[in-house]
Amino acid sequence: MIRVSGIKLSLDQDEKEIKKELIKKLRLPARDLIEYKIFKRSVDARKQDHIYFIYAVDAVVVQEEKLLRKFARDKDVMPSPNLAYQYVKTGSHCLKHRPVIVGTGPAGLFAGLLLASMGYRPLLLERGADIDRRTQAVQRFWQTGQLDPECNVQFGEGGAGTFSDGKLTTLIRDLRCRKVLEELVAAGAPSEILYSHKPHVGTDILREVVKKIRQRIISLGGEVRFQAKVTKLLVEQGKVSGVVVNNSETISSEVVILAIGHSARDTFKMLYDTGAKMTPKAFSIGVRIEHPQQLIDEAQYKQFAGHDKLGPAEYKLAHHASSGRSAYTFCMCPGGVVVAAASEEGGVVTNGMSEHARSDRNANSALLVGVTPEDFASDHPLAGIEFQRQWEQKAFSLGGSNYHAPAQLVGDFLLDRPSQSLGQVVPSYRQAVTLAELKHCLPPYVVETLREAMVEFDKKLKGFAHPDAVLTGVETRSSSPLRIERNEQRESTITGLYPAGEGAGYAGGIISAAVDGIRMAEAVAEKYQPFREEA
Give whichever of 253 and 267 is closer to ligand FAD, judged by the CB atom: 267
Instruction: Return the CA Rg of the chain.
Output: 24
CA–CA separation, 464 and 313 (whole Å): 13
Select from 357-365, 366-374, 446-454, 503-511 the region that touches ligand FAD (CB under 6 A): 503-511
Shortest distance (Å) from residue 362 CB to ligand FAD: 15
Q: Which is nearer to ligand FAD, 67 or 366 (CB)?
A: 366
Shortest spacing between CB 20 and ligand FAD, in angstroms: 36
Query: Among residue numbers 334 through 373, which ones bind ligand FAD (CB under 6 A)?
Result: 339, 341, 351, 353
Among 130, 314, 502, 522, binds ligand FAD (CB under 6 A): 502
Residues facing residue 320 across a β-bridge: 326
Give residues with Cβ within 8 angstroms of 215, minimum separation 6.
none
Under the binding rule (CB under 6 A), the answer on residue 106 touching ligand FAD is yes
CB of 242 to ligand FAD, least distance (A): 14
Q: Specify the pairing of strand 433-435 against strand 405-409.
A: parallel
Q: CA 418, CA 437: separation in Å to the nearest integer?
A: 5
Choose the stretch contacting ligand FAD; rule: CB under 6 A; options: 99-107, 112-120, 299-307, 394-402.
99-107
User: What's the one-letter identity of residue 336?
Assistant: G
**Contact, 268 vs 344, CB < 8 A?**
no
Q: Which of 112, 120, 126, 376 binds ligand FAD (CB under 6 A)?
A: 126
By C-beta, is 77 or 222 nearer to ligand FAD? Answer: 222
- What is the secondary structure of 326-345 as a DSSP string? EEEEEEEETT-EEEE---ST
Establish if 331 lies at the interface with ligand FAD (CB under 6 A): yes
Distance of CA 302 to CAs 104, 115, 149, 297, 469, Å?
42, 48, 44, 7, 20
Cis peptide bond upstream of 474, omega within 30 = yes
Instruction: Tell me: does residue 199 bind ligand FAD (CB under 6 A).
Output: no
Q: Single out the residue of 122, 199, 427, 509 in contact with ligand FAD (rule: CB under 6 A).
A: 509
Residue from 476, 468, 466, 406 nearest 437 by CA:
406
Among 99, 112, 406, 501, binds ligand FAD (CB under 6 A): 501
> Residue 472 to residues 125, 167, 171: CA-CA distances in angstroms?
34, 21, 27
479 CB neighbour count, 10 Å cutoff: 17
CA distance 242 to 228: 14
Q: By CB under 6 A, tell whether 261 contacts ligand FAD.
A: yes
Q: 320 or 389: whose CB is closer to ligand FAD?
A: 389
Q: Is there binding between residue 259 and ligand FAD (CB under 6 A)? A: yes
Distance CA 179, CA 109 (A): 13
Shortest distance, position 420 Cβ to ligand FAD, whole Å: 30
Which CB atom, from 155 or from 457, has the smaller least distance to ligand FAD? 155
CB 471 within 8 A of CB 408: yes
**Binds ligand FAD by CB under 6 A, chosen from 125, 255, 276, 465:** 125
Helical packing angle, 106-117 and 203-219, nearest 10°: 30
- Write down the least CB distance from residue 8 to ligand FAD, Å: 29
Of residues 99, 103, 202, 473, which one binds ligand FAD by CB under 6 A? 103
| Minimum distance, C-beta of residue 261 to ligand FAD, in the bound complex (Å) | 2
Tell me the closest approach of the beta carbon of residue 102 to ligand FAD, in angstroms. Answer: 5
SS3 395: helix
Return the range that interacts with ligand FAD (CB under 6 A); candidates 96-104, 311-319, 360-368, 383-391: 96-104
Residue 45 φ/ψ region, left for φ over 0, alpha for ψ in the -120 to 50 degree band, beta for the rest: alpha
User: Judged by CB, which is closer to ligand FAD: 235, or 341?
Assistant: 341
Q: Which stretch binds ligand FAD (CB under 6 A): 53-61, 139-147, 233-241, 502-510?
A: 502-510
* Length of the chain counted residue by residue: 535
Q: Name which of 157 and 297 has its Cβ closer to ligand FAD.
A: 157
Q: Is 163 in the site for ligand FAD (CB under 6 A)?
A: yes
Please report whether residue 128 would count as binding ligand FAD according to CB under 6 A.
Answer: yes
The string of DSSP letters for 5-65 reads EEEEEETTS-GGGHHHHHHHHHT--GGGEEEEEEEEEEEE--SSS--EEEEEEEEEETTHH
Residues that bind ligand FAD (CB under 6 A): 102-108, 125-128, 153-156, 159-161, 163-167, 229-230, 259-261, 264, 267, 331, 339, 341, 351, 353, 501-503, 507-510, 513
